Structure 1
């Protein structure tokens, strides 16, 4: 079982990442670029910033070996042909086409792609089993991940601030693991998958409103090119 990561030790690193990150968000229904209200203040890059900080704080040697294993397992093996930017551009375009109209948002941050899956369409309240109505959406993600198999897939769980921090941490881990297990059952190589729970530590909206809490209850899938 994968060891879940506590974000308490990453606050300084994450803050720096969020200050420097440049994110583009596309409306899941229209595919058009848009400016989100949550980008003001809290910063819409909170989720992907947390993942990058998490990866940066892992052992460098083990990360290098992981990337080597991903590339070795990929069709054709070897480095990403045609350049990383082009590879991720093509993958992003395919994901936006597949996920249009599903309620899942596609976010681009440099060479990384982030899929934001709100809790209201993925899980019942306080539950960690995936809603059956969301299977088709995840199946669409699996199709693209199989085609673009030279990426690390980080599945991260996030919650709002209701309940204790310990409860929220556990729930975020369980939800991330449920999505990761589903991707694995769909044929995604386990060597590509990282699973982490961030609890209530990385909100993308205010927890003082019901609408904000709904945005914070989410699972995010971050795709990082293996280099």
Structure 2
């Protein structure tokens, strides 16, 4: 029976997921992430509800219940992310990038301001922003926080991996010292493995040297 139910569940999930993508593409929609979260949550709930039933009527009831429960939970997550994003933009400086994907917030800090060349010791450049970020995280405690260091491709790849980890750890320590729970924070480095721009130009390499704080609701 499961094999018969799976295609229907996937089809319904796919339709709602596509609708969610269309919703978030409108940058002028202030509730786009709330709506996207509701649609994705509903899609997941429908799929689970269908797979849980052994007869058509049971599957129908399961799909309806799953849509209601999943949609409500997804909408709440999207709303919380929208609210947290607004608060972050009000408190952080212009050098800090903020991306709201609808399922997580990504705060990007340029390493050239955070650290001197070949160093994992924080400078004073973005200390106030890190403290403001910590305050925001404490105001929105129902999240996990991954602090990820990135480098350009100049130098030895193994050395860059270690440097990116040390830099991520330095940023995480500031957040911990500002009161963010250690149980919420993970720090690790990706070295040169995940560039967001070309490494063939100075400008591109500068963009790739960054620390990202990925905030995910739980």
TM-score scaled to structure 2, two decimals? Answer: 0.65
- Identify the residue that residue 223 of structure 1 maps to in structure 2: 215
- Identify the residue that residue 152 of structure 2 maps to in structure 1: 160
**Unaligned stretches of 5+ residues in structure 1:** 1-20, 25-31, 34-79
- Identify the residue that residue 88 of structure 1 maps to in structure 2: 81
Aligned-pair distance for 1:81?
11
TM-superposition CA deviations, 1:46-99 (whole Å, max 9, x none):
xxxxxxxxxxxxxxxxxxxxxxxxxxxxxxxxxx89711111110011011111
Maintained 8 Å contact 2:81/2:100: no
TM-superposition CA deviations, 1:28-53 (whole Å, max 9, x none):
xxxx99xxxxxxxxxxxxxxxxxxxx
Question: Is it true that 1:207 corresponds to 2:205 in the alignment?
Answer: no
Question: Is it true that 1:98 corresponds to 2:91 in the alignment?
Answer: yes
> Which structure has more helix as a fraction of its residues?
2
Task: Quote the Cα distance in structure 1 between the aligned partners of 2:136 and 2:187.
Answer: 19
**Unaligned stretches of 5+ residues in structure 2:** 1-20, 29-72
- Determine which structure has greater relative contact order: mean sequence separation of CA pairs < 8 Å that are 6+ residues apart, divided by chain length: 1
Question: Is it true that 1:182 corresponds to 2:166 in the alignment?
Answer: no
The structure 1 segments of at least 4 consecutive aligned residues displaced by more than 4 Å after TM superposition are none
Decide which structure has the larger Cα Rg and report it. 2
Name the Cα RMSD after superposition.
2.2
Aligned-pair distance for 1:108?
1.2
Aligned-pair distance for 1:111?
1.6
User: How many residues were matched structurally?
Assistant: 151
Task: Quote the Cα distance in structure 2 between the aligned partners of 1:224 and 1:216.
Answer: 22
TM-superposition CA deviations, 1:111-167 (whole Å, max 9, x none):
200001011111111110111232111011011111001100100000000001101
